[in-house]
Structures are given as C-alpha cells and as structure tokens.
Amino acid sequence: MATYLFPANYETQGLAALGVADHDESNLIFQYLDNDLTTFIRDVANYLVIEELDEVVLVGHSYSGMICAALFNQFPHRIRQVIFVDAIIPQSERSFVDIAGEQFGQMLAAHRLGNGLVRPWPMTVFGLAGAEAAWFASRLCPFYYQAFHTPFPGLFDPTIQPASFISCRQTAGLFLKKMAEKAREFSWPVYELESGHFPMIMCPEALASLLVDIVEQKEAFR
C-alpha cells in the first residue's frame, strides 16, 4: 500500500506500486520472476472483489494503463471511471512493447539483467535530478521483462471506457505524446500538467487537485 496526497474528503488507496519498493522489501520481487501483466491484473481484481469495492476510480500511471483498462473490462459494474496519467493506452491483444515500438524494445533489451528482470531506467530519463532523483532511485527495484511482452487480454474498446487522460508536458520522447493524441481521437477528455513523467513526485499537489477536478466533473454529468 502507498499513501498519496489528496484532499481530506477523498479516500485513496494506492495499490501495486510496480517497480517501486522500500529498501528492506525490494528483495521480495525476485521471488516471482514469472510475473507478467496478468499477475498485476489478478492482484487488483482480487482486491476489488475481496474488499467489495464499487464506484471505484482507477488511476493508472505509465505501464498501469494496461492494468486499469483490463480491470474495467472485467468489472464495469464496479468501476466508475479510469484516469490514465501519462499512461499507455492498450490495443487489443498487443503487448506494451508492441505498442511502444522498436526504440522502446531496444532500450528494454539494453536494460535487461539476464535473469528475467529489467533494471530501472536512469533518473535523467524521467527529468529528475538532485535530492529528488536520489530519493526516488533509492526506492526503485528491477521489474519483470516478461510483463512488457504480455499481450493485453482480449479486446480493448475505447468507446465503452469512461476514461480521461492526463498528459505531462515535460515527458521526454514522443511515445506518450502519441498516447495523448490517441485519447483525443477517442474523444476522451485530455488534461495537461506542467510536469515530467512522474507528477506524483514532481508536482503532487497539482496532480491531486487535477484528479479531484476530473472526478467531480464526471460526477456532475452522471
């Protein structure tokens, strides 16, 4: 679990901070080298069911766009809306690498450790520097290579997803900019933040405020 900065009248629950762990727990990730996209979908799905949650707002950052979209397919009756934060938008039966393209695939291969894991990207890729970068780097751990190659399970239909997209203006590279363009093509509301790829670190108050605004705007039109 993780705690996120949010206005007091909203209850938030942070789940599966993928690739991020406290120092004394980071070794746990190495026990499950066969984990892939379906593992993360199943983990959150079980949580929704066991906790009997409904009217859920799922917020998916980066890779987690794959997870949130798949969960909506499984639980449309439990999920009120999905908010993609600088996140990948899935395509039916295609993997993260399939969608991200050859350049990402090459970078992934260059960071592969040879034991089923991928080492974290340099902090400069995320636009982080100084004490902020050191703090974040100390909490990163390797991620699962296979997770990037697992196809999205089943069909992805953007017309039935009650989704919004937050684009971070300072994110490096074109891949996530293309995701924002794709969201506009789907007629999803697209919002912009003056931030790099990790707004929860670079501008947490602004991100929290925008998330609340999106939820309340959607609620007004229900």
Domains and CATH numbers, the chain: 54-102+151-220 (3.40.50.1820)
Q: Which residues lie below 8 Å from residue 199, measured CB to CB, with a gap of 6+? A: 85, 86, 166, 168, 193, 206, 207
Orientation angle between helical segments 37-50 and 64-74, nearest 10 degrees: 50
Give the pLDDT confidence of 148-180 residue by residue, as tens digits. 999 999 999 998 888 999 999 998 878 899 999
Q: What pTM was estimated for this model as a whole?
A: 0.85
Residue 176 · residue 183 · CB < 8 Å: no
Of 98, 9, 16, the residue nearest 60 (C-alpha)? 16
Q: Cβ–Cβ contacts within 10 Å for residue 26, how many?
A: 16
Q: What is the pLDDT along the chain (222 residues), one digit of tens a residue?
A: 232 333 344 455 555 444 444 434 444 445 556 789 999 999 999 999 999 999 999 999 999 999 999 999 999 999 999 999 999 999 999 999 999 998 889 989 999 987 889 998 888 888 888 888 899 888 888 889 999 999 999 999 998 888 999 999 998 878 899 999 999 999 999 999 999 999 999 999 999 999 999 999 866 555
